[in-house]
C-alpha cells in the first residue's frame, strides 16, 4: 500500500506552453526541454505527467524519444504518466487519425517507461471558447447520448487501445470530461464496464465537471461512483458560487484545499475504494506550476501516513512510486 511519503504525484506540463518540435527550432529543442523540466524539478517534483499540450509524443520519431528520455534523465525526473488530450477517437472527421495517434502514444509511453496513459473524448476548443479567459464558460462539443453507433465506436476503440496497452505492460485511463460520454458518473462507469478490460479504467477528473456554469452532480457522488474504477487521477479544484433558482453560476480555479471539492474527504474515498495510482496535479491560470506544487504539498498532508486495509479496485493499476 502506498502512503503519503511514497505516493507518486506528477506535475502536469500544462503551464509550460508548447515545446513540440513542430514549434521549437531543432537547434534549441533539447535545451528547451531541459530548461522546462529543470523548472519542474526546482518546484520540488520528482515526477511529471507528459501532457501532450507540451509535446505531441505520438508524433516523435526514435531520435526525439531518445532526446526526451535523455532530458528526463539529466534533470532527474521520472515520467510517471502521459495525458493525450483533445483528440477524441470518435471525432466524425479526425477519429481515425486520433486513434492512430493514441496507439503511437502508447508505444511512446512504453519506450519512456511510463505506466499509465490517459485519453478522453473531449475535443479541440472552439474559436469562441479560445477567446474566453476561462474556456469552460462557453459550451463546446456535446456527444449525442442517443447516438448508439458513436457509443459503440467509443467502446470498441478504447477496448482496442486497452488491448494494445496490456500487450506492452501499460494501463489506459479515461478522463472524465464535460458533455462527453465520460461526462457523468453513470455514463463513465457504463463505458468502462462495457469495454470490459482490466487494463482500462477511469481518470475521475471531476474538476472538469464542477467548474461548469450549470447545475452539476455532487462531487462526492461522482467520486463514490467512479473511484472503484480509477487507475489514474487528475486533481484540480475550483471556487464555485451559484444561485440555482436564478440560474446563475460562477467558478474560478483555486487551490485544492480551498475549492468546492473537499480533497481531504476525496482522498479518503479514493483510498477506501482501493485506488493506488498516480496522481497528477493540474491548474489553469497564473503560475500554474507553483499552484501545482502547493497542491502536491497539500496532498502529502492528507494522504494516509501509514498503510491500511482498503477496498479492492475493479481495474488494474500500476503505481509507479518514486523515492521520497
CA distance 139 to 144: 14
- Say what the pLDDT of residue 321 is: 42
Whether 322 has a pLDDT exceeding 70, the answer reads no
DSSP string of 69-99?
HHHHHHHT-EEEEEE--S--TT-TTTHHHHH
Mean pLDDT of 19-34: 96
CA 283, 289, 294, 299 torsion: positive or negative? positive
Whether 22 has a pLDDT exceeding 50, the answer reads yes
CA distance 323 to 25: 35
- Say what the pLDDT of residue 324 is: 34
- Say what the pLDDT of residue 320 is: 42
H-type helices in 21-61, by residue range?
Answer: 26-42
- Say what the pLDDT of residue 312 is: 84
Band (308; pLDDT cuts 50, 70, 90): low
Q: With 0-12 CB in 10 A as exposed, 13-18 as middle and 19+ as buried, what is 268?
A: middle
- Say what the pLDDT of residue 244 is: 86
Contacts of 244 (CB under 8 A, 6+ apart): 215
- 44-95 pLDDT, tens digit per residue, is 999 999 999 999 999 999 999 999 999 999 999 999 999 999 999 999 999 9
Spatial contact of 209 and 178, defined as CB atoms under 8 Å apart: yes
Mean pLDDT of the chain: 95
- 210-240 pLDDT, tens digit per residue, is 999 999 999 999 999 999 999 999 999 999 9
Is the domain spanning 9-302 CATH 3.20.20.150? The answer is yes
Mean pLDDT of 313-321: 75
- Say what the pLDDT of residue 311 is: 82
- 123-132 pLDDT, tens digit per residue, is 999 999 999 9
C-alpha separations of 33 from 9, 233, 302 in Å: 20, 25, 32
- Say what the pLDDT of residue 145 is: 95
Whether 28 has a pLDDT exceeding 60, the answer reads yes
- The residue with greater pLDDT, 302 or 309, is 302
pTM of the model as a whole: 0.96
- 89-103 pLDDT, tens digit per residue, is 999 999 999 999 999
- 233-285 pLDDT, tens digit per residue, is 999 999 999 998 899 999 999 999 999 999 999 999 999 999 999 999 999 99
Amino acid at each position: 500500500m502506498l502512503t503519503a511519503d511514497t505516493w507518486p504525484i506528477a506535475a502536469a506540463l500544462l503551464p509550460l506552453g508548447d515545446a513540440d518540435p513542430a514549434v521549437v527550432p531543432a537547434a534549441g529543442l533539447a535545451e528547451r526541454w531541459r530548461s522546462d523540466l529543470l523548472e519542474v524539478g526546482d518546484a520540488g517534483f520528482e515526477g511529471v505527467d507528459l501532457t501532450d499540450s507540451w509535446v505531441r509524443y505520438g508524433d516523435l520519431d526514435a531520435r526525439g524519444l531518445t532526446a526526451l528520455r535523455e532530458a528526463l534523465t539529466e534533470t532527474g525526473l521520472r515520467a510517471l504518466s502521459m495525458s493525450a488530450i483533445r483528440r477524441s477517437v470518435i471525432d466524425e472527421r479526425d477519429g481515425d487519425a486520433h486513434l492512430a495517434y493514441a496507439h503511437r502514444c502508447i508505444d511512446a509511453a512504453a519506450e519512456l517507461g511510463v505506466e499509465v496513459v490517459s485519453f478522453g473524448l473531449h475535443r479541440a476548443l472552439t474559436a469562441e471558447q479560445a477567446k474566453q479567459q476561462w474556456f469552460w464558460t462557453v459550451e463546446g462539443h456535446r456527444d449525442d447520448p442517443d447516438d448508439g453507433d458513436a457509443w459503440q465506436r467509443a467502446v470498441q476503440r478504447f477496448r482496442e487501445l486497452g488491448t494494445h496497452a496490456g500487450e506492452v505492460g501499460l494501463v489506459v485511463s479515461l478522463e472524465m470530461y464535460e458533455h462527453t460520454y465520460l461526462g457523468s458518473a453513470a455514463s463513465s462507469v457504463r463505458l468502462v464496464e462495457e469495454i470490459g478490460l482490466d487494463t482500462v479504467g477511469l481518470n475521475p477528473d471531476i474538476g472538469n465537471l464542477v467548474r461548469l456554469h450549470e447545475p452539476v452532480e455532487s462531487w462526492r457522488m461522482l467520486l463514490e461512483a467512479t473511484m472503484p474504477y480509477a487507475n489514474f487521477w487528475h486533481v484540480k479544484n475550483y471556487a464555485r458560487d451559484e444561485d440555482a433558482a436564478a440560474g446563475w453560476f460562477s467558478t474560478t480555479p483555486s487551490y485544492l484545499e480551498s475549492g468546492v471539492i473537499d480533497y481531504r474527504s476525496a482522498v479518503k474515498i479514493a483510498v477506501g475504494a482501493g485506488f493506488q495510482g498516480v496522481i497528477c496535479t493540474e491548474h489553469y491560470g497564473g503560475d500554474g506550476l507553483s499552484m501545482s506544487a502547493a497542491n502536491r504539498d497539500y496532498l502529502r498532508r492528507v494522504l494516509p501516513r501509514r498503510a491500511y486495509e482498503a477496498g479492492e479496485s475493479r481495474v488494474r493499476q500500476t503505481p509507479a512510486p518514486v523515492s521520497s
